[in-house]
Structure 1
Amino acid sequence: MSLALQAQPFTREQCVAGLRAAVSILEKWQASSEQACRILRISRSTYTRARQRDVAWSVSLDSDQMQRISFVLNIHATLRMVFDNPENVYGFAAMANDNAFFNGRSPLEIMAQGDMISLYETFRHIDVLRGAQW
């Protein structure tokens, strides 16, 4: 494959901005630090630095980590489309869900299993709420 066709890596600035946005959302969803680290596949120290808004730092993330960030951002965007009130936008992820896929577990519990398919399937099932067809 030629170098021109390979995916370009994300800049460190893009990584920091994406990670900080995802961590902020996960905090508003009331995810524990352990859950957030498993969902985003990051270390505890990276999570701690991402929470520090007034500290300049740099991080390099791989495509898997950036895809995980993208899922968190897209789930958040979907919840904002579906719900009008902040209590549901930010509370939904931590609520037990009796839908067959969730089987009484919260979306956060499913996502925090740490594997990409759990994150993807959680997004897919939440995206259906806005009328998406899969």
Structure 2
Amino acid sequence: MTTTHYAQAFTKDQCVVGLRVAVNILEKWQASSEQACRILRISRSTYTRAKQRDAEWSVGLDSDQMQRISFVLNIHAALRLVFDNPENVYGFPAMANNNDFFNGRTPLEIMSQGDMISLYETFRRIDVLRGSQW
């Protein structure tokens, strides 16, 4: 017996919308373009196109890239639940953190290492801050 795994297919429109939202959040978090590209695993040209709000374009992203976008959106949602003020919602990812996991580094530094484990572990540490508010 064989098991066939089907990857979730996303439309190019869904990819564009998700990518633009994630890029917008990363910019508000003060991520450099290099950090954003590593976090989302996209090219510099795709990042530049995603920032051009009025440009008509389409992009296909794989499930890894869409999962990275999901982590960015979920981290943002957790920060919005934890903090009442925009300065902390958008500033926290760029702040040095002395938690054992971060060890004086910023969440952006950890996430921009580019591997999925660093992104997931950053999400997990931030998600814990919200407690059981979901």
Short-chain TM bin = over 0.9
- Find the counterpart in structure 2 of residue 131 from structure 1: 131
Do the aligned partners of 2:83 and 2:89 also contact (CA within 8 Å) in 1?
A: yes
Counterpart AA for 1:27: E
- Find the counterpart in structure 2 of residue 106 from structure 1: 106
- Find the counterpart in structure 2 of residue 116 from structure 1: 116
TM, length-normalised to structure 2? 0.94
Do the aligned partners of 2:35 and 2:108 also contact (CA within 8 Å) in 1?
A: yes
* RMSD over equivalenced CA pairs, Å: 1.0
SS in 2 for 1:98: coil
TM, length-normalised to structure 1? 0.94
Distance 1:30 1:7 in 2: 32
- Find the counterpart in structure 1 of residue 69 from structure 2: 69
- Find the counterpart in structure 1 of residue 48 from structure 2: 48
Distance 2:96 2:46 in 1: 29
**Residues 24-79 of structure 1, C-alpha deviation per residue, up to 9 Å, x if partnerless?**
00000000000000000000000000000011100000000000000000000000
Distance 1:32 1:22 in 2: 13
Cα drift, residue 6 of structure 1:
1.7
Percent same amino acid at aligned positions?
A: 82
Cα drift, residue 8 of structure 1:
3.3
Distance 1:83 1:37 in 2: 26
Cα drift, residue 7 of structure 1:
3.1
Cα drift, residue 122 of structure 1:
0.0
- Find the counterpart in structure 2 of residue 36 from structure 1: 36
SS in 2 for 1:35: helix
Distance 1:57 1:48 in 2: 11
SS in 2 for 1:31: coil
**Number of residues of Structure 1 aligned to a counterpart in Structure 2:** 130
Q: Which stretches in structure 1 are left out of the alignment for 5+ residues?
A: none
Distance 2:91 2:46 in 1: 25
- Find the counterpart in structure 2 of residue 6 from structure 1: 6
Runs of 4+ in 1 over 2 A off after TM superposition: none
